[in-house]
Structure 1
Amino acid sequence: MLRAAMAAAVALIPLATTAVPAQAAETLPLGAAVNSLPLAEENRAGYQRTSFRHWNQGANPTDGCHTRSEVLIMEAVDAPTVGPGCTLTGGRWISYYDAQTVTSASALDIDHMVPLAEAWDSGASRWTAQRREAYANDLGSPQSLVAVTARSNRSKSDQDPSQWLPPNRDALCRYASEWTTTKLRWRLAADAQERDRLLDIAADCPGTLITYEVAP
């Protein structure tokens, strides 16, 4: 089953630099969730991609599958064959950013819904290295990591929704929901332009709800 059908998970609490105990999931309309994002100016000073270790050994360190492979297995429309060393053969995926069907795992990137640089700008610069690694390999929420075409992922780069949106216009409600979910899950801030664009999208997504709980 596509992870698109799964519920999001993050919790509404203030920004902090350390992990907190798990809290009950909460559901809000998309617009209300966007308005719950802490508002702050972004600061990229000191950012290095290597500050976020990925991909790590994933959910099961003994199966040979790192995080990238686990996302590909979970998001496949038609499951690939998993061989020795977690080699993937066959399979079929839908890249929802651009509505493309992909039949080769090597043609897909695993996108961090909120890019690593954007996360750094929005609060992750204050995290420990261990928490940044947890963020970069988050298999606890189906919205955090998404398999998409390399072209669409590289077009997005490290841009937020005020700068880039999926070319598939039918994906906007989902994209705004998953972006907001990920920021709330990890207690990341939004800047004014980002929040305003998300609110614009939310206005065109009546009835869209997101459910979220904070990352451990």
Structure 2
Amino acid sequence: MTSLRSKFLSLIALPVILFGSAACTPLTDAGSDAGANAGTGASHAGSGTAAVQEATAGSAVEQLETLPIKGRAPKTGYDRDEFGPAWADVDRNGCDTRNDILARDLTAVVFKDGTKECVVASGTFADPYTGTTISFVRGNETSTAVQIDHIVALSDAWQKGAQQLSAEERGQFANDPLNLMAADGPSNGSKSDSDAASWLPPNKAFRCEYVARQVAVKAEYRLWMTQAEHDAVAGVLSACPDQPVPDAGRASNAAAAPSAPAPPAAVPPEVADADGTPVYANCAAVKAAGAAPIRAGDAGWEAKFDGDGDGEGCTS
């Protein structure tokens, strides 16, 4: 039987597009890009305009030229609540947006039992921002390793037109898959609410897709760019003038996966005592044996698996 989650993922999945070619790789580092873009607006704007003449129809370069250029509005009145409840279930598939994006962007996903394939318990994440692979495990001390980034930050949007959107539109903006991507936690923290003029992903091979997503989001929600931001985006796209416009609301980061995923961690083998009762070294062994979650009274149960004392262990 096809689950609600499978139906949702089938809607937002896109064909894989490769971004690792030299044609899609800007020549400068993120830090130097920010300074150069801020100081050379005229030359970058010119290169972006010239690229339009050679770009294919439906390119990010063409779409960029449709965006208004204005100054940044005051941040007065900004509050996260202006964009609705965090991680609302706007598509009404029964799962919150954070877990929808984790399920979309991770591979080898394991869902927490009893959540109707909603809560992602673990998975492998090919981070597009750094080009590294992260083993995600849900937990109070581990979940922050993989965060969900608003590609166009909420604060940035507020200062560039979102104040004029309706409350419903702002809620959709905050939960739109086009504007959301799982990301390495430290990278997401360093980005904060920066636009392309002051922050770009360290992974140069992903910058074309990254700025194309920003352009698409701002076009979709009638937002504007500052001159410095426009010039920074044009500078990136000048290296990839045929970068396509992402499909609104259905983007995927599958193409950002490193070419060689990290090997899985070794799982301690299951052993048995004299009467044949299984003995598990840890929760990894419990899961590998298909015995998770393990409960008091189950074969192989030990109190060490029950960190919160609820009689059930190895649930996350």
- TM-score in terms of structure 1 length: 0.80
Shift of residue 148, structure 1, vs aligned partner: 0.4
CA separation of 1:4 and 1:211: change in aligned 2, threshold 3 A: closer
Q: Is the 8 A contact 1:112 1:136 kept in 2?
A: yes
Shift of 1:172: 1.1
Query: Which structure has the bigger radius of gyration?
Result: 2
- The one-letter amino acid paired with 2:224 is A
Aligned equivalent of 1:33? 63
Decide which of 96, 108, 113 is 2:128's aligned counterpart: 96
* Alignment match, 1:45: 76
The alignment status of 1:168 with 2:186, answered yes or no, reads no
Deviation at 1:30, TM superposition (A): 2.2
Corresponding residue of 1:78: 108
Any stretches of 5+ residues in structure 2 without a counterpart? 1-8, 18-56, 250-316
Q: TM-score, normalised by structure 2?
A: 0.56
Query: Residue 122 of structure 1 aligns to a residue in which SS?
Result: coil
**For the residues of structure 1 that align with 2:120 and 2:227, how far apart are their CA atoms?**
42
Contact 2:109 2:120 in 1 (8 A): no
Q: Is the 8 A contact 1:28 1:211 kept in 2?
A: no
**Sequence identity, in percent?**
28
Distance 2:13 2:148 in 1: 13
Matched, 1:208 2:239: no
**Structure 1 SS opposite 2:107:** coil
Instruction: State the SS of the aligned residue for 1:208.
Output: coil
Equivalent residues, number? 190
Whether 1:182 and 2:220 are equivalent positions in the alignment is no
2:228 and 2:192 map into 1 onto residues whose CA distance is 18
Give distance in 1, aligned partners of 2:108 and 2:90: 21
Q: Show CA shifts across 1:90-131 (max 9, x none).
A: 211111011121221512111111000011011111122222
Letter paired with 2:221: W
Q: Secondary structure at the match of 1:90?
A: strand
Deviation at 1:46, TM superposition (A): 1.6
**1:10 aligned residue:** none
Residue 132 of structure 1, CA deviation: 1.1
Question: How far apart, in 2, do the equivalents of 1:197 and 1:180 lie?
Answer: 12
Secondary structure in structure 1 of the residue aligned to 2:230: helix
